[in-house]
Chain A
């Protein structure tokens, strides 16, 4: 057996590791082990690559590995749990960038067949879109720019022009095997990536991160076709396929189609949001005091906490747990009702609450908690809005109609902790805020919860 064949066998082992890793990550019991198996596969793959015949510049490679590790590990270790989505976006973007660079460098060596040139151009295009697209998602989530959809004037015409340009460079690159065409294609793709993500609203950005994640997987697979490395093809395709499925699951959890998530802002009629805001003007809202709510909670039998994005922003996950523990010590049953898209991406809220050591048994998924609302005394909605809006169930005309929601309006009392009457991400009014059984507590979620804790102690 030659050395190259031995490396191929080791790569096969690594490919199996990655499949087992993804399988493991799909179940809570085996998730951590799955991730570690993936990391083992990666380490073995890198080790085997050092044995590649004719590999030079070992010192330089080690230096680059050390630099990458020195950037990646501290970033991953120090990131706040609320900022996880943008961290994933950043890691995804650099991966896409790497795939595009590898393809370009290989193309530069010449002797490309038609098929190789096609794979090079594909991975350059997709890798560059993923790189700049991820950069914009990062900027949106990190609040370096507005989270609202941004549509440039004449964006449709610009999109068409970019599309025509991309096709032209692809044809040129294929016919002349021109590296220059591939570089120009990368530049056009970089602009396309920016314009692709700009029109997506803040709430939908996680879906885009997932989509770009599967893009990067496909770019890696195409690069594998260029280099004729089966491990890259297998791993890239695995991520591309599973990422596509995951993206669909995420949009379904939000009750939206993928196309409305991505292109909604480009086709929307601008008047709809303004019109929806009007009809609530003359209705009254009941604002409660912290003490009222403390008494309500302290003497309840069953309380459901519905955490949302506002809780994450206020970093109030520890305080809500303190309140829940306090209530439990008084004999109140407390559970958390987690909407599938609570937080910034599916599962994000579970991670945040896990960080605050909330017991796993107290976290209930939507389908489990919904039948129990009629027997619930108080629902405490912390920084959530759209996911409890009955319009999703009752008004067919509403933009969120059809989205699965938590039926908190069936509980006896509802308390909203909100910063203002401002509508949620979907930009629509919530009739539940005006319901007689609803009490509003305005202010920063963390401050309000802290005063609630001391008020419950006194109650």
Chain B
């Protein structure tokens, strides 16, 4: 196992624990927005898609990269917008 791989594995394991910790206590009221927000966050695959499209060789890689950028953008942008729409309603009401 190389040092880089070991480093990445360490990051992975620590992230698992952080993921469990941050949402250990959530009211069921927020389950849907939380799921939607987490859904938007995995849209970060967008940066991988951009790298593939921008550095790929040959038609196959470019086509795959292009589709991936489009799909990931839909995931990220749509995800944040729809989560905000849900939460907007909670906010507006508690102020009143």
A residues lining the B interface (CB < 8 Å) = 14, 18-19, 21-23, 25-28, 31-32, 34-36, 38-39, 42, 45-46, 48-50, 52, 54-58, 60-61, 64-65, 67-69, 71-73, 75-77, 79, 81, 84-85, 87-88, 91-92, 94-95, 97-99, 101-102, 104-106, 108-109, 115, 209-210, 213, 216-217, 220-221, 223-225, 227-243, 245-246, 249-250, 253, 338, 340-341, 345-348, 350-351, 354-355, 357-360, 363, 365
Residues of B within 8 A of A230 (CB): 8, 11
Q: How far is the CA of A341 from the CA of B22 in the complex (A)?
A: 22
Complex contact B51–A52 (CB within 8 A): yes
Complex contact B15–A233 (CB within 8 A): yes
Q: Contacts A220-B45, A225-B8, A241-B17 given; 13 further ones with Cβ under 8 A?
A: A18-B41, A28-B27, A28-B94, A54-B54, A55-B55, A60-B62, A68-B74, A77-B81, A92-B39, A213-B38, A238-B15, A239-B41, A243-B38
| Interface residues of chain B: helix, strand, loop or mixed (majority) | helix
Complex contact A18–B44 (CB within 8 A): yes
Complex contact B71–A97 (CB within 8 A): yes
B residues lining the A interface (CB < 8 Å) = 1, 4-5, 8, 11-12, 15-20, 22-58, 60-62, 64-94, 96
The one of A75, A245, A338 that contacts B24, using a Cβ cutoff of 8 Å: A245
Residues of A within 8 A of B18 (CB): 19, 238, 241
| Interface residues of chain A: helix, strand, loop or mixed (majority) | helix
The verdict on A105 contacting B23 (CB below 8 Å), with A42-B46, A52-B51, A55-B51 known, is: no
Q: How far is the CA of A60 from the CA of B65 in the complex (A)?
A: 10
Residues of A within 8 A of B69 (CB): 61, 64-65, 68, 98
Q: How far is the CB of A224 from chain B (nearest CB, A)?
A: 7
Q: How far is the CA of A363 from the CA of B1 in the complex (A)?
A: 54
Complex contact B45–A347 (CB within 8 A): no
Q: How far is the CB of B54 from chain A (nearest CB, A)?
A: 4
Q: How far is the CA of A210 from the CA of B11 in the complex (A)?
A: 24
The verdict on A239 contacting B32 (CB below 8 Å), with A76-B85, A229-B47 known, is: no
Q: How far is the CA of A57 from the CA of B65 in the complex (A)?
A: 11
The one of B57, B62, B82, B88 that contacts A87, using a Cβ cutoff of 8 Å: B82
Q: How far is the CA of A72 from the CA of B82 in the complex (A)?
A: 9
Interchain residue pairs with CB less than 8 A apart (20):
A21-B37, A23-B22, A25-B30, A36-B84, A38-B40, A42-B41, A45-B44, A52-B54, A54-B54, A76-B85, A84-B82, A97-B71, A102-B45, A216-B42, A234-B15, A237-B16, A241-B15, A241-B20, A243-B38, A348-B32
